[in-house]
Structure 1
């Protein structure tokens, strides 16, 4: 079964105008009715860095989780953020962005890769004590624009280190939309075979015309976990390309149906969520 991870947090976080807390909550509440495996709903990071997410705790208080099977994921960038997130029983997953690029790690979390790896281990221990699961995103997972070293072997080395500290879910993030289908397939095939006990996910950014090829490559390699956002909103500002955004959930669904891949959503509730997305991101 394909796991669909809907990412309103990623879609919203870069918007310059603050979205009212009640509107955020109403949108996420509708997403909770669709049947997504997980909702990446918010983040516990510095409000100076990501002002759009400064109300994550308030949004959480307004969510109706009683009739939803979806799990909640919150992004954190340090142990302080993890401490804040772990207060809430409603949160199932913490997500940490670990970069393969030294330059991007410094820009994104103000840490070196070595410091970030130490933070991952600390947060992993904290999460296990609280019965939560840490999802580690390998950002710049398919290359970077900074000239920092990159290779599939480098990726495998990171996965091995994460495996050593007990990480069970790793998502390869195509942060700037640079990956081609062949590299996507190679990374997933090699790592899924080498680490069968780890769940590997795809957090792909793409131009619309390249989306189907990228998703099919990940599927062919055995990936069963996909991040996406309705209408393809969001993406990394460093891509410097308005056409490179998150994989659009509706487009991902079409590819999965074309490839006869099993997944579960309520189409009626999904259509309602699409209507609200047009208002939220207008």
Structure 2
């Protein structure tokens, strides 16, 4: 079964003009009607770092979760953010960005990799106590532009450390869109075979013309968890001067269905979400 994680948070976070809270909530409520496995809806991070997400708690209060099949995920960057997210029983998953690049870890969370690993352990302990699940994103998981060390063996070392902490979901993240199909297949295959008890996801950024090949490469490797954003909006504002957009969900859906996967989505509601995305991101 394929799990699609729709990421309006990732799509919105780098937009400099503040999106009205009611508009955010209306958009996410429409996404909840589609039947995605999970909605990455917001983040509990410093409003100075990501001002667009300063209203995450208010957005959550406006969501209609009655009969919603989708689970909610919020990104956190430190223990304080995790503690804030713990106050909301509606949130199922906490996501933490751990980077295999020392430079990007400092840019993204103002911490070293060693400090970030300690934070992961603390948040994992909180999640176990509070009944939530931690999703760890391995940022720069397919390479980085900073000249920091990178290799598949390095990634495997990070996965080993996370496995020792009891992390059950790890999403390999191509933060700047550098991965090609062969690397995606080989890296995911290696991790999935070595750690069959861990659920591996792919959070890939991509040019539109490369999305289909990347999805097929991930599926070929056995990956069944894919992140995307409608129309490919977004990208990490901490990563580089030129943002590479998210994987366009509509292209991922078409690719997966062409390859025989039944995604069990409500297509009329998806069409409405696509129309609303055009309004939210191109007012």
**TM-score (normalised: structure 1):** 0.98
User: Could you report, residue by residue, the CA deviation over 1:139-171 in whole angstroms, capped at 9, with x for unpaired residues?
Assistant: 000000000000000000000000000000000
Q: CA separation in 1, counterparts of 2:181 and 2:213? A: 6
Q: CA deviation at 1:240?
A: 3.6
Q: CA deviation at 1:262?
A: 2.5
Q: CA separation in 2, counterparts of 1:101 and 1:264? A: 37
Aligned to 2:128: 128
Aligned to 1:56: 56
Q: CA separation in 1, counterparts of 2:274 and 2:64? A: 19
**Structure 1 residue 165 and structure 2 residue 165: aligned?**
yes
Q: CA separation in 1, counterparts of 2:125 and 2:68? A: 28
Q: How does 1:28-43 map to 2 (within 5 A)?
A: 28-43=28-43
Aligned to 1:216: 216
Q: CA deviation at 1:123?
A: 0.2
Aligned to 1:110: 110
Question: Aligned to 1:206, what secondary structure does the other structure show?
Answer: coil
**Structure 1 residue 274 and structure 2 residue 277: aligned?**
no
Q: CA deviation at 1:191?
A: 0.6
Alpha-carbon RMSD across the aligned residues, in angstroms, is: 0.8
Q: How does 1:7-86 map to 2 (within 5 A)?
A: 7-86=7-86
Q: CA deviation at 1:212?
A: 1.0
Aligned to 2:252: 252
Q: CA separation in 2, counterparts of 1:191 and 1:113? A: 20
Unpaired segments ≥5 residues, structure 2: none
Q: CA deviation at 1:211?
A: 1.0
Question: Aligned to 2:136, what secondary structure does the other structure show?
Answer: strand
**Structure 1 residue 155 and structure 2 residue 155: aligned?**
yes
Aligned to 1:97: 97
User: Could you report, residue by residue, the CA deviation over 1:190-217 in whole angstroms, capped at 9, with x for unpaired residues?
Assistant: 1100100000000000011111111111
Q: CA deviation at 1:235?
A: 1.0
Q: CA separation in 1, counterparts of 2:188 and 2:19? A: 36
Runs of 4+ in 1 over 4 A off after TM superposition: none
Question: Aligned to 2:157, what secondary structure does the other structure show?
Answer: helix
Question: Aligned to 2:205, what secondary structure does the other structure show?
Answer: strand
Q: CA separation in 2, counterparts of 1:240 and 1:175? A: 12
Q: CA deviation at 1:236?
A: 2.3
Aligned to 1:181: 181
**TM-score (normalised: structure 2):** 0.98
Q: CA deviation at 1:257?
A: 1.1
Q: CA deviation at 1:239?
A: 4.1
Aligned to 1:200: 200
Q: CA separation in 1, counterparts of 2:204 and 2:177? A: 7
Contact 1:175 1:239 in 2 (8 A): no
User: Could you report, residue by residue, the CA deviation over 1:43-97 in whole angstroms, capped at 9, with x for unpaired residues?
Assistant: 0000000000000000000000012110000000000000000000000000000
Unpaired segments ≥5 residues, structure 1: none
